[in-house]
Chains A and B, each alone.
Chain A
Amino acid sequence: MRELNKTIFMENLLSEKESLDLIGQMISTAKNNLQKGTGKIFLLWGYMVAIISLLTFILLITLPPETKYYAYYMWFLMFAAYPVHYVLLKNKEKEKLVMTYIEKVMNWVWIAFSISILVVVAGLIIAMVLVMPAFTDVRPGHEFDRWFQWLFITPLLLCLYGFALFVSGKAYAFKPLATGGVICWIATFIILISIHHVHVLAIQQIVLTISAVAGFVIPGHMLNRKECKDV
């Protein structure tokens, strides 16, 4: 490509064919440009979700029945990822040399994804901690015993993962992300059809672990490798 560039930029008069070739060649330079540092962000959230869901799964199956729903407190560990996310994002901004239209749209897709997750989680937690105790006879300190609330968080989140991953995969023409998205949708379906199962909550957590590995961890490592090659 560099050789071709050298030829094109010699001070020759452009022919109409050369003009069109040059336009085509230059337009393709910024196309599907995945920002350096994207892989690390996928890895951060992928590993966080995979590890926390695995720990929650272990606690759900090992804690005594009266306290087992406190296993979900593990998810507060997710807040620890935010400062790291901020640092990774700042580093990514520093490395950024070009912003394509695809990237601009994808940034908004991931912002919309984060807002969707916030709305789902905040809504269900407020219902559980404030609204349910106010209108029902839940004993103080036992708000989290309303286990059926937990039934909805995981499938909703997984479905959103599927959406964001699939769109990213297609936009960046990076198949592992799109495949990860499809796996998340299949996982959502499995969780929903196993809603009758006595261990449904534990099943949800282990399916979530697998989905996080398939949707974020594996594509994240592949992205890192691709970024190293591209540079």
Chain B
Amino acid sequence: MFKDLDPLLHSQLRLAVMSILISAVEAEFVFIREKTNSTAGNLSVQIEKLREAGYISVEKSFKGKMPRTTCRITPEGIAAFEKYVEDLNSYLQKK
């Protein structure tokens, strides 16, 4: 029933990550983990999938001595997210 929806986005955690990133310039891994209430391991895997698809960019740096991972949505990610929401809306309208 959801065959038209982007499978990469039609997943709970990945969709949550993309929704946070579309509303922010950038967000840290810790922030996303806290807001999605997910585990670090699962979140890392999903973020890597989104990065591989080119939907987000991930930057690793240091804040003092602490490692920091900053995520940003890419123009491709924005386009994919917009298309996903459009598809979702058209599905709801058909229903």
Partners in one complex: yes
The interface residues of chain A, by DSSP majority, are classed as: helix
CA distance A84 to B37 in the complex (A): 36
Q: For the complex, is A111 an interface residue (Cβ under 8 Å from B)?
A: no
Query: Could you tell me if A8 and B12 are in contact, using CB atoms closer than 8 angstroms?
Result: yes
Question: In the complex, how many angstroms separate the beta carbon of A146 from the nearest chain B beta carbon?
Answer: 46
Which residues of A lie under 8 Å from residue B13 when comparing CB positions? 9
Please, how many residues of chain B have a CB less than 8 angstroms from a CB on the other chain? 30
CA distance A139 to B13 in the complex (A): 74
Q: For the complex, is A98 an interface residue (Cβ under 8 Å from B)?
A: yes
Q: How large is the interface on A (under 10, 10 to 19, 20 to 34, 35 or more residues)?
A: 20 to 34
Question: In the complex, how many angstroms separate the beta carbon of B28 from the nearest chain A beta carbon?
Answer: 5
CA distance A25 to B12 in the complex (A): 12
CA distance A98 to B73 in the complex (A): 13
Residue of B nearest to A96 (CB): B28
Which residues of B lie under 8 Å from residue A14 when comparing CB positions? 10-12, 15
| Partner of A97 from B22, B25, B30, B92 at Cβ < 8 Å | B30
Given A9-B13, A16-B92, A101-B23, 4 more pairs with CB closer than 8 A: A9-B16, A9-B37, A26-B20, A96-B28
Residues of A in contact with B (beta carbons under 8 Å apart): 2, 5-6, 8-9, 11-12, 14, 16, 19-20, 22-23, 25-27, 29-31, 94, 96-101, 103-104
